[in-house]
């Protein structure tokens, strides 16, 4: 990697935002259908809550499978090319959603088209998000990794905050074609904008195999994946949770989750550099667990909204805090692979949350998934404590 000249905070942020904007386009494409598709599959097509959750989770599984290769391709070909392909795939997901509702077909055919769109979107997410982070790290330097990952997260959940209510509004006014067309237009604009950004030089040097990269970062990724369960239960089932209690405002609850996330990233992202990623993660897991317990015990939509805000606030810094520690374990020429493998744990957590939560709902009711999610997050807290102890032992021996 070429040396990066000293830049002011404003210059650094400007450079980072110039590429993480593509993450915003990607996750706006994800957020738009998020509060609509589960209800469409369950209420309109007539499938169970398990199938509704599985359709959402297909995107996460596709991202999980493709994320490591996205990191490898970013290392080999450069992040710009990877982002360009990712944006096109995000646009294609909108096309499949449009086809699913435009043609007079059986519910199964519509479900299959939606499923294909979710898979394509998942691959597009892995390419765009991983490529954007690596692109940002390359243009401002590895020392600013936490800043890049934090801004990338701001773009992610700002898009989710905007996307969820906007998707509901567009669906109410125009049906699914309302947001499907918007997804396609964003992909076209994003692709054009990315072509105007300069590419970066790919770092040279020996690239270690996936299994060696994995062995260095897996514990950080495991904690991330467990912490992601809280987000997964809110993103996938909060609309059904509100519906089961005859409440309105599920999209607003998603927005509060995202606002809590963004606020923490903007206000407290510098704490990672000051206190270390592991310490910040411990506090974050504790806040997320409290938020999930509030949702579980919430007797009103107001309490659930507060719980969603706390969950988003707690989840906010987990990815960058543990991610900074994870990519420190490898050389610059392997950082794309490390980032891809690390991020895959997030995708895995989201991928299993949908179907497993659907099973829990069938046996113990929808409220049970938030209690289980809180327990899982506390397990992540315990593993992170052990990770902190392991790091101290290594430092003492060194």
**What's the confidence (pLDDT) of residue 334?**
78
Mean pLDDT score of the chain: 86
Element (H, E) at 393: helix 368-397
CATH number at residue 327: 1.20.1250.20
User: Structurally, how many domains does the chain consist of?
Assistant: 1
Residue in this structure with the two tokens 């830049």, named with its chain if needed: 7
Residue 49, domain member (yes or no): yes
Asked if 291 and 314 touch (Cβ cutoff 8 Å), the reply is yes
Residue 62, domain member (yes or no): yes
Helix 301-316 with 210-244: angle, nearest 10 deg: 170
Residue 97, domain member (yes or no): yes
| SS3 of residue 105 by DSSP | coil
Residue 148, domain member (yes or no): yes
How far is residue 73 from each of residues 85, 130, 264, 277, 326, measured CA to CA in Å?
11, 10, 31, 27, 19
Of 298, 313, 297, nearest in space to 257 by CA? 313
| Rounded CA separation 345/72 (Å) | 16
Residue 316, domain member (yes or no): yes
pLDDT(2) > 60: no
Residue 4, domain member (yes or no): no
User: Which residues, other chains included, contact 6 with Cβ-Cβ below 8 Å and sequence gap of 6+?
Assistant: none
More confident residue, 288 or 11: 288
pLDDT tens sequence across 210-227: 778 888 889 999 999 999
**What's the confidence (pLDDT) of residue 185?**
97
pLDDT tens sequence across 140-154: 887 788 788 888 878
pLDDT(96) > 90: yes
pLDDT(3) > 60: no
pLDDT(23) > 90: yes
Of 200, 216, 219, nearest in space to 331 by CA? 216
More confident residue, 185 or 217: 185
Residue 2, domain member (yes or no): no
Q: Rg of the Cα trace of the chain?
A: 20
Residue 1, domain member (yes or no): no
Residue range(s) defining the domain that contains residue 140? 9-201+209-397
Q: What DSSP state is assigned to residue 43?
A: I
Of 190, 192, 128, 137, nearest in space to 15 by CA? 137
pLDDT tens sequence across 348-357: 887 788 778 8
pTM for this prediction: 0.76
């Amino acid at each position: 990697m070429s040396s990066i000249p000293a830049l002011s905070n404003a210059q650094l942020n400007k450079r980072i935002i110039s590429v993480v904007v593509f993450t915003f386009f990607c996750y706006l494409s994800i957020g738009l259908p998020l509060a609509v598709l589960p209800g469409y599959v369950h209420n309109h097509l007539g499938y169970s809550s398990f199938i509704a959750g599985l359709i959402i989770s297909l995107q996460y599984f596709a991202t999980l499978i493709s994320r490591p290769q996205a990191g490898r391709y970013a290392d080999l070909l450069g992040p710009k090319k990877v982002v360009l392909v990712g944006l096109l795939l995000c646009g294609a997901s909108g096309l499949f959603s449009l086809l699913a509702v435009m043609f007079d077909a059986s519910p199964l055919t519509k479900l299959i088209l939606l499923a294909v769109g979710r898979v394509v979107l998942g691959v597009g997410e892995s390419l765009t998000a991983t490529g954007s982070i690596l692109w940002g790290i390359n243009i401002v330097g590895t020392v600013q990794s936490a800043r890049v990952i934090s801004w990338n997260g701001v773009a992610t959940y700002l898009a989710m905050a905007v996307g969820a209510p906007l998707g509901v509004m567009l669906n109410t006014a125009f049906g699914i074609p309302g947001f499907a067309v918007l997804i396609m237009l964003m992909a076209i604009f994003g692709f054009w904008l990315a072509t105007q950004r300069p590419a970066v030089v790919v770092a040279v040097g020996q690239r270690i195999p996936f299994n060696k990269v994995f062995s260095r970062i897996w514990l950080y990724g495991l904690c991330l994946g467990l912490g992601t369960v809280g987000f997964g239960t809110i993103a996938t089932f909060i609309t059904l949770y509100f519906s089961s209690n005859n409440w309105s405002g599920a999209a607003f609850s998603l927005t509060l989750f995202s606002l809590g996330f963004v606020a923490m990233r903007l206000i407290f992202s510098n704490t990672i550099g000051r206190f270390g990623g592991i310490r910040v993660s411990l506090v974050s897991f504790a806040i997320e667990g409290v938020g999930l317990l509030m949702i579980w015990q919430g007797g009103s939509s107001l309490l659930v909204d507060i719980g969603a805000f706390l969950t988003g606030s707690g989840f906010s810094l987990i990815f960058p805090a543990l991610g900074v520690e994870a990519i420190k374990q490898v050389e610059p020429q392997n950082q794309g692979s490390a980032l891809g493998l690390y991020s895959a744990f997030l995708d895995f957590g989201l991928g299993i949350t949908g179907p497993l939560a659907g099973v829990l709902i069938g046996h113990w009711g929808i409220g049970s998934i938030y209690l289980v999610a809180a327990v899982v997050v506390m397990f992540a807290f315990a593993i992170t404590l052990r990770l902190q102890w392991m790091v101290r032992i290594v430092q003492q021996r060194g």
